[in-house]
Every structure is written in structure tokens, then in C-alpha cells.
Structure 1
Amino acid sequence: MIRTYKEALEWIHGRLRLGIKPGLQRMEWLMDKLGHPERLVRAIHVAGTNGKGSTVSYLRHILQAAGYSVGTFTSPYVEQFNERISVNGNPIRDKEIVELVQVIQPLAEELEKTELGAPTEFEVITAMMLYYFGKKNIQDVVLIEAGLGGRFDSTNVIYPLLSIITNISYDHMNFLGETLEKIAFEKAGIIKSGVPVITAANQPEAWAVISEKAKSLKAKTYRLEEDFFIVHHESTEDGEHFSMETIFSQYPDLKITMFGEHQVQNAALAVMAAEYLRMCYSFLIEKEHIYEGIEKAKWIGRFERVSNKPLIIIDGAHNAAGIHSLVNTVRSHYPNKDVHVLFAALADKPLEQMIPPLAEIAKTITFTSFDFPRAASPEQLAALCNHPHKATTDDWKGWVKEKKKQKRSDDLFLITGSLYFIAEVRKLLM
């Protein structure tokens, strides 16, 4: 019997060796054994390539401003494991993690003996979350972020009030497919019969797949720039200002403190979702809750300014679309800075698409690695870069400590790449 928090985490993380197993049969088996807690969760399901966590944060803050108690399920974590399952932004306690593992572990061991095989780490964590929010600590609403894809994702055992698909881009192609159509097909797998879908998917080929799936299930769609609109956007020193029109209302002069055009789109998805909950599910959400909520929202590790003198920004841009958004944000907010990049990534990412855009904005670019099984070596990364001022280092902590001593006001130190790497950097800097 697991009795301590350390033992609980070791057991959960020990399941990483089982890798990723697509399919919902193991989750359905676990839900049945647990008395179907997923049926008791009033959920909103969020899938997409990028922006899931930020969209969840915007919507959570809106709902909290309106007085609702909100559970969230997000991944990966940045500061501590417990933040994956949170209530009103507060990670659940160590004791609760232990209690959840004590419930799930015997079932996981029983499941391992069946023809379905052992549940993976993500399946175990998802089962813990659904049991927690379905049986132990029922919330007004739970925002559930899909892990990988959607169709066969462990979270797809829920039947939500609303589905949100943030965007479609290239990531996890070894699991989701090599084309936008195939990736969109997997993400659209979260769409349920009669459950409305809000999306910012803008590529015609991706939208065609999502639209067709929604139509076949009689799920009403609300698409950014077709059913709701960003009508004015301006980048400012403290974030982004924009106005918005939905089919229900108008929102002039909205403000967010997260940086980048992509964050404006994420915030717009959250506003549209809040509007739908107000109009169609009688949630008591007023305009002032929307304004207050999106301005308060933060998402650590995403274009996060962790030092002003010198200026250091960390950003978990872990795929090609993330890098594209990061580069655009740097250009719009810091066009006159000398950008010095530190980059580390996982070897299975599309590195040849990620590194050249970063090199375009960099005065210098340094490649490094970190303690993670799939991390690329500095030399692997540097081989994909033609920048005249590129370098490699095995001591990223030394690089960060040295740059912290710099005082030139023209410099911007941009640390980016894998979210796992950013979590380590953030620990050091904060």
C-alpha cells in the first residue's frame, strides 16, 4: 500500500515506461470499476495543437470572476505535479494525491492482468482526476485539457457541455498523422453528438474535417473570424488590447497581459465559450466578469518575463507553430532588442522547422540539452542552424547565471524550447 506522496509520484511516473497506448478501452474499464465518475463531471473539453492551457486559464478566470468554483486538468506541469489537477488555480494537496493513488493503484494492477493490459501514466492521472472531480470534490464546472490528439485521448470518455478546439498545426505526427487533415481528424474526435464546438482552426483543410465531423453529429460550430470576430488588435507594453464581436454581444477594449496575437485568439475562444455558457446554459456571467477574468489570466512558462534587468523571457515553444507565434511576438513587442536565444528541445520534434525562424531573430543562438530521456544533444540542434553566431553548451545553468549579470538595456535573453526544459529553467530563475 502506498502511504507517502513520494511513493505515489514514483508509482505514477513509473508508468511512463508503458509509453502511449491509443484507445479508450482501458479508461472505460477503469470508469466502470469506479462507478462512472466521468458522468458526474460538468465538463468543458479543450483540444488543439497549441493554446489549450492559455484558453483554459482565460476561461477559468472568467468563471471565477462570476463566482463559480472551477476545476482544471492540464498538462504538462511547470512547477509541481499537483498543478495538473487544480481547483480555482490551486493544485490539490499532496495528501489528496496519495488518497487518489490508493484508489487507482489496485484497479491498475487488476487491469494489467486482463487482455487490455496495464494503464499508462496519462490514463492513471486522468482516472485520478475524473474520480476526484466526480466523487470527491465536485465543482461547478471542470475544464479538461486533452493530452494527445483527442479521438483516442484518455480524457475522451467525458460527455461535455461544450468542446473547444484551439487550433490545428503540426505536432506529434508519429501518433496523429503527417497531414493537417489527419491531425484535424484526431482533434475532432472530441466532438460529441449535439455538443457545440468553438474553434480557432483557420486552415481550410483542417476546418473542412472539423466542420464535416460536427455536421455528422449535429454539433453546432462557432468559428473564429466566421461566427465571432476580433475587430481591432493592438500590442502594448503590458500585453494586448483588442475588441471583439460575437453573435450575442460586442466587447470593445478588452485587455490581456499575456503577449502575442495567438493569445488574443485564445482569449477570444474563452470569451465566446463564456458567452455560450451564459446564453445556452444559464451561467450567471456578466460582461464585467469577462473583462476582469481575461485581464487577470496568466499562464506560466508562456512568454513569461522572469527578469527586467536584464530582460529575460522564457517560453515553452515546443513545436513549429509555437515557434512561429513566439517569433511574431518578439518582433511586435521588442523590435529593437538584440535577441540572444538559448534553445533546448526533444529530438522527436520537427527541429528543422523550428530552428531557422528562431535564428532569424537572434543576434546569437546557443543550443543546449537537459536531463530528459528524449532530449536532443546541443550538437544535433546546432547542425540544423546556419547562424554565424551559434554556439553549444552542456551547462545551461552556467549560461543563465552569466547572462543574469549582463546590464545592457538593448539585450533580450530568450530561453525557449521544450516545456520540460522551461520548467527546469524557471525553477532556477524564480
Structure 2
Amino acid sequence: MQTYQEAREWIEGLIPFGIRPGLERISMLLDKLGHPERRLKFIHIAGTNGKGSVCAYLTSVLRQCGYDVGTYTSPYITKFTNRFQYNGEDIEEETLLALANELRPHVEEIAATELGSPTMFEVSTALAILYYAKVTYPDFVVWETGLGGRMDVTNIVHPIVSVITNIGHDHMDVLGDTLEEIAHEKAGIIKSGVPVVSTVEQPELRDIIAQTAKEKHATLYLAGDQFHAVPIRHNEQEQSFRFEGLFRTIEPLEITLTGSHQRSNAALAVMTLEVLRQYYALIMEDEDLRTGLRHASWPGRLEMITNNPKIILDGAHNPEGAAALAAALKETYTYQKLHVMIGMLGNKNHQETLRHILPLADTVIITEPDFHKRLAAEELASIAAELRGQHSFELLVEPDWQLALHKLREQTAPGDLGVVTGTLYMISDVRARLLNDTDNEKGW
């Protein structure tokens, strides 16, 4: 491969091999590379919602404290290189090309075995490990799971702390039919003797996390038990809270990400950092903690993208995400009318997701993301129509997301609020359009 474009096309060309949970191929790949992952300190993050925001908080604070930080996340909002960050900057295209060329012979060798070709995510994960272990040498790697936990490719590493956000209804076609099954999968990132921090709320799921931690002799820090986030104030631009932890209380802490769920995410990050202070002598001054939290940002999550008209982007693509969005719209934002544009993929829990949003809306514009797994606008609209009940919103159907966005902007008068929500694949396109970003490479 001679160019970055060729390297990206090769990696994304592995998408047809699909999502195949299991660690055999990534294990073989890392074995061929001499296990570079063993030289890195990982903070491993799993959960249904909030993973990206927790990654952003951790990265921002650790950098503010003077540490070098690698951050591996997915999917990306703007460009493929977003997945592989070092100190907040994307991997350079030339570096990605060189690492892809190093990986390719090994990938093709494995593809010729009975295991079959490594998947796109497996190759991306191996590339991230090479980037951090052989090129940038960060002090910490903030390491987000792709799907689930136990059999997720990222679970090939042995972290210094495991983090589990909330657990909800997402990817049930892969992870299981019940929340209990999903919880078992997420708990699969818990390693023997490695501390665990979690904001899981449901009692029966907390029991699963606690039991797994006990079996692994891993100390567990649970929100509501060992730490709390107590709100102080909030508005449309920022919010503050008091962190009450097992080791100490810190107040006030300010964040610019809105919604009560972001207080929870921030507290989870703070407790994780507190655990690193206790276990690994992490040096973190209170002022660096405050500054790092305040400067943390995460695109596409309750992001006020334009002010005239006032439009928010929020990738609420499952029931729990939609519930968090609805709560924020009720608690944080003021508006005369609410206009919602939504597009979804075909494998989601659409009824429960829409149930949270529809009662608040004056206008609902149903559209489709420009992505091969999209749900047809007419199909989503029929679900919305069935749920309309006593709600009096205007229902519009426009399959072309660009025309739908034009309609949303027209509808959103001064004093109103527009919301674009649903799959992050559509959020990516809309964000690029509204910011006039010509370098957008939406995708996995």
C-alpha cells in the first residue's frame, strides 16, 4: 500500500467479515507481533452508553496532570484516524499507512488458516496497540470496548483498572436477549485482582457485577455505594457537582457536557482516577482535575452545534440514550417548540427509544442515515405513528437526510430548539454539513 487512502480502504474492506466475537484471531495476531500490548497500561472501559464521554473525561484530566495519553474509541465521528489518538491528536496518516503495511502480511497469513480473516475491528485494535507500544509510548491508554466485553477484541489486554458505565438495551442481537445476559458480557472485562469502577444502576445487574468482581478477587467501587455525584447547579452551557468518594470529597467540579447522565459519567471518571491515585500513585492536583473535567468535550452528545437556529446533536440510538436525552430536554433546556429529526439503523429497539422522545416534540422529521444498515424512513415513521396516541406532534417523512436537515432548520424558529438524534452515522454526516467539514469520513 502506497497511500493512507489505500490503507484505510484495506482495513474498511474487512467489514464484510462482520462482527465475530472471540479472541482467537487477535491473540494470534498479537503473538506474531511479539505481544506489544504487554508494555502498556490500559484503562479498559465497557458499558452501553457513556463510554465515549468517560474516555473524554479521563483523557482530558490525565493530560492536564502532565501524562501522555493514548485514546482508542469507536465509531468515529469525523475521520477514521479519530479512533487512534495520542494526547488529543489523531494518528498521522503516514504512520497509519506504515503500521497497516506492517500488519497486512500477518493478517493475510491468519486469513489462510481455519480461523479466517481478522475483522476490521480486530485489525484496527492491533493497529492501535502497535501505535501506542512502538510509536508514541503513552503513560496510559484509555481503551474503549467495541461491543460487549467478555468476547470483545479489546479484552485481549490486561488493564490496570476496569470501568463499566451503564447497562441497557443495545446490540441485543449479539450480546443476549436480556439485560442480565448483557451484564454478564460487560462484566467479562473484569480481571483477576484488577479494581473495577461502575455506575450500573439496576439492582439485579449490580449483583452480577459484584459477584463477578468477588469471583475475580477484584475490588469493586459502585456509584451509590462507594461514590456519589451530588448536583450543585446547571444551565444550558455547563453544570457543577460535588464528588463524594470513598477516599475524599471534592467540590465544586464543573463540566460543560450537559445532562444529569454526564454528571454520572464525570463522577465515574473521577472515581477511576481516585483508584489510580490509591493503587498506582497517580499524581493529580485538585486544580488539574477541575481544569481537565471542564475542558473535556465529546462531539455528537448533547452538542449545541449551531445557535441560529439553535440545534443540538445527540447520538441517542437506544432506549437508555433516549431517556437521557429526554431528561436533559426537560431539565436543562428552555424552548418554545421542540423539533426532532431522527434516523436509525435496522437492529435497534425503536419503540422504546421513540417512546422517550415523542411526547416532548412538536415536530418529528423521520429520515434515513446514509449507511448500509439503515432503517427505512417509512418503517420508522409507522412505528412513530403507532406511538402517537394522545401526542399532537406533526410527523414528517423525508428519507434524504440532507433535505430533512433543511426542513429542521426551516422549522426551528427563534426561541425554538432543534434536535438531531439517532444513529451516530447520521450524526456524523449532519455535523460535517453544519460545520462545513469537507474532510469527513463517516463510518466504523
* 2:421 aligned with 1:408: no
* 2:143 aligned with 1:144: yes
- Superposition CA RMSD, Å: 1.2
Cα distance in 1 for partners of 2:4, 2:66 equals 32
Counterpart in the other structure of 2:237: 238
Cα distance in 1 for partners of 2:372, 2:109 equals 29
Counterpart in the other structure of 1:424: 429
Counterpart in the other structure of 2:184: 185
Compute the TM-score of the two structures, normalised by the length of structure 2.
0.95
Q: How many residues align?
A: 429
Q: Please state whether the residue corresponding to 1:222 is helix, strand or coil.
A: strand
Q: Please state whether the residue corresponding to 1:255 is helix, strand or coil.
A: strand
Compute the TM-score of the two structures, normalised by the length of structure 1.
0.98
Counterpart in the other structure of 1:393: 398
Check the 8 A contact 1:50/1:166 in 2, yes or no. Answer: yes
Cα distance in 2 for partners of 1:261, 1:219 equals 29
Where in structure 2 are the equivalents of 1:86-125 lying within 5 Å?
86-125=85-124
Counterpart in the other structure of 2:7: 8
Cα distance in 2 for partners of 1:132, 1:18 equals 24
Where in structure 2 are the equivalents of 1:131-210 lying within 5 Å?
131-210=130-209
Give the percent of matched residue pairs that are identical in Structure 1 and Structure 2: 42
Residues 199 and 423 of structure 1: CA distance in aligned 2, closer, same or farther (over 3 Å) = same
Counterpart in the other structure of 1:70: 69
Check the 8 A contact 1:48/1:149 in 2, yes or no. Answer: yes
Counterpart in the other structure of 2:298: 299
Where in structure 2 are the equivalents of 1:276-287 lying within 5 Å?
276-287=275-286
* 1:34-79 CA-partner distances (Å, limit 9, x unpaired): 0001101111100000100100100111111100010000000001
Residues 230 and 109 of structure 1: CA distance in aligned 2, closer, same or farther (over 3 Å) = same
Q: Please state whether the residue corresponding to 1:385 is helix, strand or coil.
A: helix
* 1:178-219 CA-partner distances (Å, limit 9, x unpaired): 111100000000000000000000101111111111100100
Q: Please state whether the residue corresponding to 1:230 is helix, strand or coil.
A: strand
Moved more, 118-127 or 228-237: 228-237
Residues 343 and 403 of structure 1: CA distance in aligned 2, closer, same or farther (over 3 Å) = closer
Cα distance in 2 for partners of 1:396, 1:6 equals 26
Counterpart in the other structure of 1:367: 366
Residues 206 and 402 of structure 1: CA distance in aligned 2, closer, same or farther (over 3 Å) = same
Cα distance in 1 for partners of 2:236, 2:70 equals 32
Cα distance in 2 for partners of 1:94, 1:409 equals 42
Where in structure 2 are the equivalents of 1:13-92 lying within 5 Å?
13-92=12-91
Cα distance in 2 for partners of 1:304, 1:149 equals 26
Counterpart in the other structure of 2:440: none
Cα distance in 1 for partners of 2:170, 2:410 equals 36
Q: Residue 374 of structure 2 aligns to which amino acid in structure 1? A: A
Cα distance in 2 for partners of 1:294, 1:407 equals 32
Instruction: Kindly state the Cα deviation for residue 405 of structure 1 after the two structures are TM-superposed.
Output: 5.2
Residues 403 and 341 of structure 1: CA distance in aligned 2, closer, same or farther (over 3 Å) = closer
Q: Please state whether the residue corresponding to 2:52 is helix, strand or coil.
A: helix
Counterpart in the other structure of 1:222: 221
Cα distance in 1 for partners of 2:433, 2:333 equals 24
Q: Please state whether the residue corresponding to 1:384 is helix, strand or coil.
A: helix
Q: Residue 137 of structure 2 aligns to which amino acid in structure 1? A: I
Moved more, 364-373 or 68-77: 364-373
Which runs of no fewer than 5 residues in structure 2 stay unpaired?
Answer: 436-444
Instruction: Kindly state the Cα deviation for residue 309 of structure 1 after the two structures are TM-superposed.
Output: 1.5
* 2:257 aligned with 1:252: no
Counterpart in the other structure of 1:274: 273
Q: Please state whether the residue corresponding to 2:246 is helix, strand or coil.
A: coil
Q: Please state whether the residue corresponding to 1:114 is helix, strand or coil.
A: coil
Check the 8 A contact 2:162/2:189 in 1, yes or no. Answer: yes
Cα distance in 1 for partners of 2:342, 2:404 equals 11
Q: Residue 12 of structure 1 aligns to which amino acid in structure 2? A: I
Q: Residue 52 of structure 1 aligns to which amino acid in structure 2? A: K
* 1:266-320 CA-partner distances (Å, limit 9, x unpaired): 0001111111111220111111111111110000011100111110111111111
Check the 8 A contact 2:369/2:423 in 1, yes or no. Answer: no
Counterpart in the other structure of 2:333: 334
Instruction: Kindly state the Cα deviation for residue 122 of structure 1 after the two structures are TM-superposed.
Output: 0.3
Q: Please state whether the residue corresponding to 1:53 is helix, strand or coil.
A: helix
Check the 8 A contact 1:310/1:406 in 2, yes or no. Answer: no
Check the 8 A contact 2:48/2:169 in 1, yes or no. Answer: yes
Q: Please state whether the residue corresponding to 2:396 is helix, strand or coil.
A: strand
